[in-house]
Amino acid sequence: MHLRGQVQGREGLTRTGFGLYWPTKAARWAAGTQGMVMARMRRKSELPQKTCAVCGRPFTWRKKWAAVWDEVRYCSDKCRSLRGVDVTSTKRPRG
């Protein structure tokens, strides 16, 4: 029996529009905790926070910082470039 969206010869897989095969909902359900499990969504308030070493503003964890979160000290590239400058005493031009 051929169901719409499923590919014969590939049990439990569905072909996506990009030529990739993805497990069907039933296959993901059958896999339970052993297979693919979606991560629980978190609110931004639940993510870890740090304070920027330059501007003193709080900033939250980002997925791109996951591997190096312990090393992150600055909230942005701008603050990282100003790390040796005393921000409170210098006037920066607008823009």
Q: What are phi and psi of 26, to 5 degrees?
A: -65, -40
pLDDT at 83 over 90: no
Q: What percent of the chain has pLDDT over 90?
A: 33
Confidence (pLDDT) at 42: 78
Catalogue the E-assigned strands of the chain: 13-15, 21-23, 49-51, 58-60
- Model pLDDT, residue 50: 94
Residue 49 has pLDDT above 70, yes or no: yes
Question: 35: pLDDT confidence band, cut at 50, 70 and 90?
Answer: low
Instruction: Domain ranges for the chain, please list them.
Output: 1-32, 44-81
Say if residue 33's pLDDT is above 70: no
Torsion sign over Cα 27, 30, 31, 33: positive
